[in-house]
Amino acid sequence: MQRSDFENCEIYADLRAIPPVIIRVDGRGFKKLLYRHGFEKPFDHRFASAMADAAESFAHQSGLHPVIAYTFSDEINILFTDQVLPFTGRIEKLVSVISSYIASVMTRSLDISPIAFDGRAILLHPHQITEYLIWRQSEAWRNCINSYGYYTLRSTGLSGRDAASKMLGMRSCDIHEMLFQNGINLDKVPAWHRRGVMVHRDEYVKCGYDPTRGIEVTANRRKIVQNWNLPIFASEEGAELIQRLVDV
């Protein structure tokens, strides 16, 4: 076969996205990995920090200019809204480059054996951005309830299989009650356990001095920040936050 024939076999190479698009990356086999390396359960601040730092590094150093990144557990949701997407919107490039970038940063940050992320592209209408983030944050809350429930049952002496089996038959309110009886109030656990972490650009005022005019001056600047105390996205405050960040 000629080279051109092989190029014709790349049947997904020209599959492109139009903005807005979210690239979601998820860790592969992280449950076993975190257990093997002794991370705390149900939540480990060092691991969560590494995820948030990876999202911040991507926003700051990749040159791809995402608008926001929302992370919880072992997933990061990265939003692009610019009319001209990186790689002219080629989905193969977006998914593979972003997944590999996050994997390399996480491996280096945690100083553990090489880890992998898979990735997928979610094409949205602009009006669906808030709805999508509400959905992912509700998944963060579900993960919080189930993680605390599972590891609380494990702490009572149940095996992993028995704890998982018991969790399958429990409603959310039953898990809450079980946790409360074991001294855990989910309303009091850190906000990032329940709601995740947002990485975004924020404006600030920088003070300086103009030697030509001999006066103090101020200028608006932007920096990348991590928000570990997010509101509920489904609330008015949460919707306003998302709208402000997406419109910037």
Question: Which CATH number does the domain housing residue 122 bear?
Answer: 3.30.70.3000
CA-CA distance, 108 to 54, in Å (whole number)? Answer: 10
∠ CA 176-181-184, nearest 5°, is: 65
Q: What is the pLDDT of residue 247?
A: 83
If pLDDT is split at 50, 70 and 90, which confidence band does 2 have? low
Report pLDDT for 220: 61
d(CA 196, CA 40): 17
Is position 134 within any domain? Answer: no
| Structure confidence at residue 76 (pLDDT) | 98
Residue 208 binned pLDDT confidence (cut-offs 50, 70, 90) = low
Total domains, the chain: 1
Residue 204 has pLDDT above 60, yes or no: no
pLDDT of residue 205: 56
On whether residue 90 sits in a domain, the answer given is yes
Please indicate, yes or no, if residue 233 is contained in any of the structural domains: no
> For residue range 66-98, what is the model confidence (pLDDT) as tens digits?
999 999 999 999 999 988 899 999 999 999 999
Q: Are 137 and 75 in contact (CB under 8 A)?
A: no
Return d(Cα 173, Cα 179) in angstroms, integer: 10
% of the chain exceeding 70 in pLDDT: 92
Q: CA–CA separation, 26 vs 33, rounded Å?
A: 14
Supply the mean pLDDT for the chain: 91
- The string of DSSP codes covering the chain is --HHHHHHT-TTTT-B--SSEEEEEEESSHHHHHHHTT--SS--HHHHHHHHHHHHHHHHHSSS--SEEEEETTEEEEEE--SS-GGGGBHHHHHHHHHHHHHHHHHHHHT-S---EEEEEEE--GGGHHHHHHHHHHHHHHHHHHHHHHHHHHHTT--HHHHHHHHHT--HHHHHHHHHHTT--GGGS-HHHHH-EEEEEEEEEEEEEETTTTEEEEEEEEEEEEESSPPPTTSHHHHHHHHHHHH-
Residue 170 placed within a domain: no
Q: Is the peptide bond before 42 cis (omega within 30 degrees of 0)?
A: yes
What band does 113 get if pLDDT is binned at 50, 70 and 90? confident
Is 136 contained in some domain?
A: no
* Domain encompassing residue 61: 11-127
**Residue 206 pLDDT:** 61
200: pLDDT strictly greater than 70: yes
User: What pLDDT is stored for residue 235 in this prediction?
Assistant: 98
- Under the banding of pLDDT at 50, 70 and 90, the label for residue 9 is confident
pLDDT tens digits, residue range 149-191?
A: 999 999 999 999 999 999 998 999 999 999 999 999 999 999 9
Alpha-carbon distance 93 to 157, whole Å?
Answer: 47
Mean pLDDT of 218-238: 89
pLDDT at 31: 82
Domain annotation covers residue 55? yes
Residue 219 confidence class, pLDDT cut points 50, 70, 90: low
Q: Is residue 188 part of a domain?
A: no
Residue 214 in this model has a pLDDT that exceeds 90: no
Contact 238, 246 (CB under 8 A): no
User: With contact defined as beta carbons under 8 Å apart, do 98 and 78 qualify?
Assistant: yes
The answer to whether residue 173 is domain-embedded is no
